[in-house]
Structure 1
Amino acid sequence: MPAGPRPSDVPRLRTALKVYRVSAAITGTFLLLLVVMMVLRYGFKVDIELGGPFGFLALTPVGQITAINLSIVILTVHGWLYVLYLACDFVMWRLARYSFGRFLFIALGGIIPFLSYYFEFQVPRYITGRIQATTEADAAPAAKEVSA
């Protein structure tokens, strides 16, 4: 198993963890919107139109949209948010030095519905445990020097 985070990386790891939690929540929300959009598009052959002739928000048959295609917007925004989610996962992987398998498992949070909400609470618990282990291990030699 790889070693825990370096003591010098702990402040950056805590910042990355905060950004990760926000990105996990937002990415998960857009993933659910994406699932709804896919069901509408491929199940009912309609896209979500914003500001078209059928009203402010309407379900319009695919290929007949004249205004803003909200389905494409949801798809694009989720894609870029997933890139941010992966970047946060990568930074935490690099700083916390956990296994590559865990990195890949956390990466699934942006493509499996509801998993990012689960990881939003589980990953910080895991990272905080690794930070605690590092700070305790770093404090143990200092305590021995003081008592000697």
Structure 2
Amino acid sequence: MAIGPKRADIPLIRRTLGVYKVSSIITGIFLLGLVVMMVCRYGFGVDIEFGGVSGGLALTDPDAITGFNVSIFLLAVHGWLYVLYLACDFVLWRVLRWPFWKFLWIAMGGIIPFLSFFFERQVPRDVEAIIADLEAAA
């Protein structure tokens, strides 16, 4: 039995790749917001607040927040988006039968700022080449 993806898996690979591309961009954007939030929180001791005493966006002491805490929102949303990103990474890894290190490497895209934008371009290129090989072999 040949090791590698099967031709029957091409529709699943394409669907997963589409979701992966969108999730990598959105996860990357929220990761950049998370970096800003962490610099504000741990560098300056303030959280990002929306609609508090000062009106729009403001940097406020965490104990004095009266509006919407954008910092907590960024933490939660990035966490759930990273779960989606990891799920797509896992499905691609499993179906394409990549080595485990490649799964871990792509998973870093949701942890290291700007890396998900690089992977959003690189991973589809690699996957499309594999799909082209599968279709040519049939």
Establish whether TM, by shorter chain, passes 0.5.
yes
Per the normalisation by structure 2, the TM-score is 0.95
2:92 maps to 1:92 = yes
Per the normalisation by structure 1, the TM-score is 0.89
Q: Which residue matches 1:146?
A: none
Partners of 2:68 and 2:33 lie apart in 1 by 16
Match of 2:43, SS state, is helix
Q: Which residue matches 1:81?
A: 81
Give the fraction of aligned pairs with identical amino acids, expressed as a percent. 61
Aligned length: 137
Match of 2:63, SS state, is coil
Cα deviation 1:43-102 (Å, max 9, x = unaligned): 111111111111121110122111211100001000000000000101111221111110
8 Å CA contact 1:4–1:134 kept in 2: the answer is no
Partners of 1:5 and 1:52 lie apart in 2 by 53
8 Å CA contact 1:3–1:98 kept in 2: the answer is no
8 Å CA contact 1:4–1:131 kept in 2: the answer is no
Partners of 2:67 and 2:7 lie apart in 1 by 53
Query: How much is the aligned-residue C-alpha RMSD, in angstroms?
Result: 1.1
* Structure 1 gap ranges (5+): 140-148
Match of 2:39, SS state, is helix
Deviation of 1:133 after TM superposition, in Å, equals 1.6
Structure having the higher Rg:
1
2:64 maps to 1:64 = yes
* Structure 2 gap ranges (5+): none
Amino acid at match of 1:128: E
8 Å CA contact 1:27–1:81 kept in 2: the answer is yes
8 Å CA contact 1:27–1:78 kept in 2: the answer is yes
Moved more, 27-36 or 126-135: 126-135
